[in-house]
Homo-oligomer: A and B are copies of this chain.
Amino acid sequence: MQLVNKFRDMNKKMEAYNYVLSIVGWDSGTEAPRKSFRRRAEMLGIVSRELFTLQVSKEYQSVVEELYSNIDTFDDSFQREVRKANKELKKIINIPEDEFVEYQELLQLSQQVWEDAKENNNYEAFKNNLEKIIEFNKKFALYYAPKRNPYDTLLDDYEEGMSTIEYDEFFNYLRKELVPFVKKVLEEKNNEYDKFINDSYDPKKQEEFCNYLINVFKFDTDKGLMKKSVHPFTWNTSPEDVRFTTRYLENYVFSSIFAAIHELGHATYEQQVSTDFDGTLLTGGTSMGVHESQSRFYENTVGRSLAFWETHLKKFKELFPEQTKNIEPIDMFKAVNKVEASLVRVEADELTYPMHIMLRYDIERKLMNGDVSVDDLPQLWNDLMDEYLGVRPNSDSDGVLQDVHWSAGLMGYFPTYALGSAYSAQLYFTMINDLDLDQIITDNKMEIINEWLKNKIHKYGSSKTPKELLVEVTGEEFNPKYYVKYLIEKYSKIYF
- Name A's B-contacting residues (CB within 8 A): 12-13, 15-17, 19-21, 23-24, 26-27, 31-36, 38-40, 42-44, 46-47, 50, 221-225, 227, 237-238, 240-241, 243, 278
- Say whether B241 contacts A34, CB under 8 Å: no
- Say whether B47 contacts A223, CB under 8 Å: no
From the candidates B17, B34, B241, name the one contacting A33 in the complex (CB within 8 A): B241
- Say whether A39 contacts B222, CB under 8 Å: no
A interface majority secondary structure:
helix
Could you list some 24 contacts between A and B, CB below 8 A? A12-B46, A13-B46, A13-B50, A16-B47, A19-B39, A20-B20, A20-B23, A20-B24, A20-B47, A27-B27, A31-B225, A31-B227, A33-B221, A33-B222, A33-B223, A33-B240, A33-B241, A35-B241, A36-B223, A36-B237, A36-B238, A36-B240, A39-B238, A40-B241
- Say whether B20 contacts A43, CB under 8 Å: yes
Nearest CB on B from A208, distance (A): 12
- Say whether B35 contacts A223, CB under 8 Å: yes
From the candidates B17, B26, B35, name the one contacting A240 in the complex (CB within 8 A): B35
Nearest CB on B from A282, distance (A): 16
- Say whether A222 contacts B16, CB under 8 Å: no
From the candidates B31, B46, B227, B241, name the one contacting A36 in the complex (CB within 8 A): B241
Most central of A17, A26, A35 by chain B CB within 10 Å: A35
Nearest CB on B from A263, distance (A): 15
From the candidates B32, B46, B50, B237, name the one contacting A241 in the complex (CB within 8 A): B32
Contacts of A50 in B (CB 8 A): 13
Nearest CB on B from A76, distance (A): 26
A18 closest partner in B (C-beta): B43
Please, how many angstroms separate the alpha-carbon atoms of A333 and B361 in the complex?
69
- Say whether B224 contacts A33, CB under 8 Å: yes
Nearest CB on B from A284, distance (A): 13
Copies held by the complex: 2
- Say whether B238 contacts A278, CB under 8 Å: no
Please, how many angstroms separate the alpha-carbon atoms of A241 and B238 in the complex?
27
Nearest CB on B from A202, distance (A): 14
Other than the known A17-B47, A20-B20, what 14 A-B pairs have Cβ atoms closer than 8 Å?
A: A16-B42, A19-B43, A20-B43, A20-B47, A23-B23, A32-B241, A33-B221, A33-B222, A33-B223, A34-B222, A35-B222, A35-B240, A39-B237, A39-B238
Most central of A221, A237, A241 by chain B CB within 10 Å: A241
A45 closest partner in B (C-beta): B16
Contacts of A44 in B (CB 8 A): 16, 20
Nearest CB on B from A8, distance (A): 12
From the candidates B16, B46, B221, name the one contacting A16 in the complex (CB within 8 A): B46
Nearest CB on B from A38, distance (A): 7
Please, how many angstroms separate the alpha-carbon atoms of A224 and B12 in the complex?
33
- Say whether A39 contacts B223, CB under 8 Å: no
- Say whether B24 contacts A26, CB under 8 Å: no
Nearest CB on B from A276, distance (A): 14
Nearest CB on B from A4, distance (A): 18
Contacts of A32 in B (CB 8 A): 241
Contacts of A224 in B (CB 8 A): 33
Nearest CB on B from A209, distance (A): 17
- Say whether A39 contacts B241, CB under 8 Å: yes
Please, how many angstroms separate the alpha-carbon atoms of A85 and B490 in the complex?
69
Most central of A20, A26, A32, A44 by chain B CB within 10 Å: A20
Please, how many angstroms separate the alpha-carbon atoms of A21 and B47 in the complex?
11
Nearest CB on B from A330, distance (A): 36
- Say whether B21 contacts A225, CB under 8 Å: no
Please, how many angstroms separate the alpha-carbon atoms of A158 and B26 in the complex?
33
Please, how many angstroms separate the alpha-carbon atoms of A12 and B39 in the complex?
12
Please, how many angstroms separate the alpha-carbon atoms of A31 and B228 in the complex?
13
Contacts of A40 in B (CB 8 A): 19, 241
Please, how many angstroms separate the alpha-carbon atoms of A42 and B26 in the complex?
19
